[in-house]
Amino acid sequence: MTPSQKAGPHEAPTRYGIDRPTLGELITEWREPRYRADQVWDALYRQHIPLEKATALGKALRERLTTTLPLVLEPVTEQRDARDRTRKWLWRCLADGAEVETVLMRYPTRATVCVSSQAGCAMGCTFCATGQAGFERHLRADEILEQVARAAHTSDQRVSNVVYMGMGEPLANYDAVWASVERLHADFGLSARHITVSTVGIVPGIRRLAKEELPVTLAVSLHAPDDELRDQLVPLNRRYPIAEVLDAAQEFSEARGRRVTFEYALIAGVNDDTARAAALARLLKGFPGVGGAHVNLIPLNPTAGFPGHKPTAPAMGAFARSLESGGVTATVRRNRGTEIDAACGQLRSRERDQPVAAPSVRMSP
């Protein structure tokens, strides 16, 4: 059976879905020299150039490849911040029109891509634009990988880090997410430590992650130290309360010997009081792994469906100091890219409200 016959009508190979053996078979079927397969693979995963620009392949082969291995996302909008350190894309999935977002953040020593793992999200966190919009579907691994590749094509710096912090709950789409993680490691050459899976606290998923061979980094979105408040912000807490989430995170940390990061979206007058900081420190102090637990404090990004706002800078500083004096390290995250809506699900919701958002470049199809 030839590679082009092997894939059924719904599984035709795609640009970042085809694996290396199948590409080899395709190249042989086309009666091209074998080294061509290495060249193609190199262009896809090492050179960070679009296949259309891989001139070493020659025009005819390039054209045949780009038609046979189609891309699966088309850009709806692309935004950049003023200094061009952050870029954000809203993509339309060619399979069904679902829209997802990707962000590229370039820093002096690293470049990070934030990917979506689902179109929408079923978890319903009240302050999150994606949660407010509801669930559409899981993304496939090639749809996740193409987000990284296409962001990398625009970066003069090598993409060193990938975080699953865009739209969706990665552990609710475990198999596709894990397939993409393995290929980021094997094909894009990313170190597992530089791949961060962020979860709202799906306990069986965290335990499964703890048993995987690749030691990825885990981030757990906590947002409150007590179940009463967390129940309101994160509906999944009613199924997996804080104690169970922390127990699973501890298992992960012990299995890996690595510290776990906890994300905490700071919402003025809701979860930002220093009593809660002290309670959070009590919960996380003595967490296993080198350096214990670390808390990332994220100032709330405003969303249409939630009335809260971020605390003042002094209030956030006081919260961080209170955590530190309780023995837990904390970083107040700069809300990178807020000016271009580079936060979970916000670009898409804005686009839906206003078909052409002012600061964005609307791409022609």
Q: Which residues bind ligand SF4 (CB under 6 A)?
A: 121, 123-125, 128, 130-131, 168-169, 200, 221, 344
Length of the chain: 365
Is 78 a known active-site residue?
no
Q: Does 165 bind ligand SAH (CB under 6 A)?
A: yes
Q: Does 139 bind ligand SAH (CB under 6 A)?
A: no
CB of 16 to ligand SF4, least distance (A): 23
Draw the binding track, 190-229, toward ligand SAH (x: CB under 6 A; -: no contact).
Answer: --------xxx--------------------x--------
Contact partner at residue 263 from ligand SF4, ligand SAH, none, CB < 5 to 8 Å by partner kind: ligand SAH
Nearer to ligand SF4, 124 or 241 (CB): 124
Draw the binding track, 285-304, toward ligand SAH (x: CB under 6 A; -: no contact).
Answer: -------------x-xx-x-
CB of 134 to ligand SF4, least distance (A): 9
Nearer to ligand SAH, 27 or 245 (CB): 245
φ, ψ (nearest 5 deg) of residue 89: -115, 140
Nearer to ligand SF4, 54 or 267 (CB): 267
Count residues near ligand SAH (CB under 6 A): 16
CB of 334 to ligand SAH, least distance (A): 12
Instruction: Please tell me which residue in 32, 78, 99, 101 is annotated as part of the active site.
Output: 101
Return all residues near 166 (Cβ < 8 A) that are at least 6 apart.
Answer: 100, 101, 102, 103, 114, 115, 116, 117, 147, 344
Q: Furthest-apart CA pair in the chain: how many Å?
A: 70
CB of 320 to ligand SF4, least distance (A): 21
Instruction: Please tell me which residue in 93, 114, 121, 344 is annotated as part of the active site.
Output: 344
Pairing of strands 260-266, 293-299: parallel
CA–CA gap between residue 303 and residue 34 (Å, rounded): 52
CA–CA gap between residue 171 and residue 183 (Å, rounded): 17
Among 343, 348, 351, 360, which residue interacts with ligand SAH (rule: CB under 6 A)? 343
CB of 164 to ligand SAH, least distance (A): 6
- Contact, 148 vs 110, CB < 8 A? no
Q: Does 344 bind ligand SAH (CB under 6 A)?
A: yes
Residues forming beta bridges with residue 100, ordered by sequence position: 91
- Percentage helix, strand, coil, to 5, in the chain? 40, 20, 40
CA–CA gap between residue 13 and residue 17 (Å, rounded): 6
Q: Does 142 bind ligand SAH (CB under 6 A)?
A: no
The first and second tokens of residue 103, run together, are 């962000």
Comparing every residue's Cβ against ligand SF4, the nearest one is 131
Nearer to ligand SAH, 126 or 250 (CB): 126
HSE-CB at 221 with a 13 A cutoff on CA atoms is 25
Pairing of strands 111-114, 118-120: unpaired
CA distances to 27, 29, 43, 57 from 33, in Å: 7, 10, 16, 11
CA distances to 29, 108, 179, 319 from 197, in Å: 38, 23, 13, 25
Contact partner at residue 271 from ligand SAH, ligand SF4, none, CB < 5 to 8 Å by partner kind: none
Is 121 a known active-site residue?
no
The first and second tokens of residue 99, run together, are 């829209």
The first and second tokens of residue 105, run together, are 């953040």
Q: Which residues are catalytic?
A: 101, 344
Q: Give the binding site for ligand SAH (CB under 6 A).
A: 127-128, 165, 169, 198-200, 221, 263, 265, 298, 300-301, 303, 343-344
